Amino acid sequence: MVIDFKQDILSPVATDFAAMDHLINEGISSKVGLVMSVSKHVVEAGGKRMRPIMCLLAARACGVANMQHAQHLAAIIEMLHTATLVHDDVVDESNLRRGRPTANATWNNQTAVLVGDFLIARAFDLLVDLNNITLLKDFSTGTCEIAEGEVLQLQAQHQPDTTEETYLRIIHGKTSRLFELATEGAAILAGREEYREPLRRFAGHFGNAFQIIDDILDYTSDADTLGKNIGDDLMEGKPTLPLISALAHSTGDDHAIIRRSIATGGIEHLDKVIEIVHNSGGLDYCQKRAQQETDAALEALKALPDNEYRQALINLTLMALHRLQ
């Protein structure tokens, strides 16, 4: 089955998406011109906006009829996501995001950090307007956990003894947690307590699969397709799952090269590392884990009503996995 993003995923919430897009542009308005310029630069950088789409689909799947609050929540999700990307690029010293220069490369680190802070603050400003204390608490806790995931990743940098368990803790914080906020938040907004846990589980497993696939693509894709430079993770000494798995399944010189590459960073041995990751079975293992997480995500969706919105969430999950093909 060939999945068309616009027809099979976006179409059921296209009107909601357009309204959400307008709310984002309203939300980044500021009395300070530079804040506006940088916010506009990062928001318009593109991407499929999967997190807000997931939020809108989850709200519809839960039976929400008046989608005004859900549209606001989706805009909040995208603003938080954009803020984390801006901060990520500063931490990682990245100069390319979604195929265009990052905010820190275009302006400077100080400006990027402060605008990232502005986007988080504005997101919570809009969240308060929804007047839902359960939602506010969930997002406050979740945003702390996202930050903790980023710090965990920093701690693991250049640490070749990082385990798969630690890796999963990192990606849950830095990637999966925001997906969880998007879908569980929709259930909270809908007042459908029975869907909170299934939607949280769906999004958690989806996020894990999504990040594992991203980490695979860092060793199999190209800069034009990926929207960032190949080997960025290795350059930064990040022990992602392909490297963790390659270490576990290699010996001798190959094992030593992987350990040294994580410990020192840099891409001096990038071609050799890619070869080892391929030949050790590391990528095969990662693909198996991505499939397991995808299957778990799809299983969780069975708790939702069988409608076009649930089907669109299924399609989104399958499309994310198919990036490997």
Using DSSP, how many helices (H) and how many strands (E) does the chain show? 17, 2
- Secondary structure of 253-269 as H, E, C letters: HHHHHHHHHHHHCCCCC
Q: Over the stretch 132-161, which tens digit does the pLDDT of each residue have?
A: 999 999 999 999 999 999 999 999 999 999
Q: Considering the chain, what percentage of its residues have pLDDT values greater than 90?
A: 74
Q: Over the stretch 14-34, which tens digit does the pLDDT of each residue have?
A: 999 999 999 999 988 899 999
Q: According to the model, what pLDDT value does residue 303 have?
A: 97
Rounded CA separation 214/220 (Å): 10
Residue 46, pLDDT above cutoff 80: no
Residue 249, pLDDT above cutoff 90: yes
Q: According to the model, what pLDDT value does residue 242 have?
A: 95
CATH number of the domain residue 81 falls in: 1.10.600.10
Q: Over the stretch 76-117, which tens digit does the pLDDT of each residue have?
A: 999 999 999 889 888 877 887 777 888 898 888 999 999 999
Rounded CA separation 221/79 (Å): 28
- pLDDT band per the 50, 70, 90 thresholds, residue 324: low
**Quick one: 26 exposed, middle or buried, by C-beta within 10 A (0-12, 13-18, 19+)?**
exposed
State which residues form the domain around 286: 5-324
Higher confidence at residue 270 or residue 131? 131
Q: Is 192 strand, coil or helix?
A: coil
Q: According to the model, what pLDDT value does residue 96 have?
A: 76
State the pTM of this model: 0.93
C-alpha angle 174-240-177 in degrees, rounded to nearest 5: 15
Q: Which two tokens stand for residue 310?
A: 């649930």
Contact between 115 and 39 under an 8 Å Cβ cutoff? The reply is: yes
Residue 124, pLDDT above cutoff 80: yes
Q: Over the stretch 172-231, which tens digit does the pLDDT of each residue have?
A: 999 999 999 999 999 999 999 999 999 999 999 999 999 999 999 988 866 555 555 567
* Domain total in the chain: 1
Q: Is 101 strand, coil or helix?
A: strand
- pLDDT band per the 50, 70, 90 thresholds, residue 45: confident
Sign of CA dihedral 192, 194, 198, 201: positive
The mean pLDDT value for 62-84 works out to 95
The mean pLDDT value for 243-259 works out to 94
Residue 325, pLDDT above cutoff 60: no
Residue 170, pLDDT above cutoff 80: yes
Contacts of 109 (CB under 8 A, 6+ apart): 90
Rounded CA separation 265/232 (Å): 10
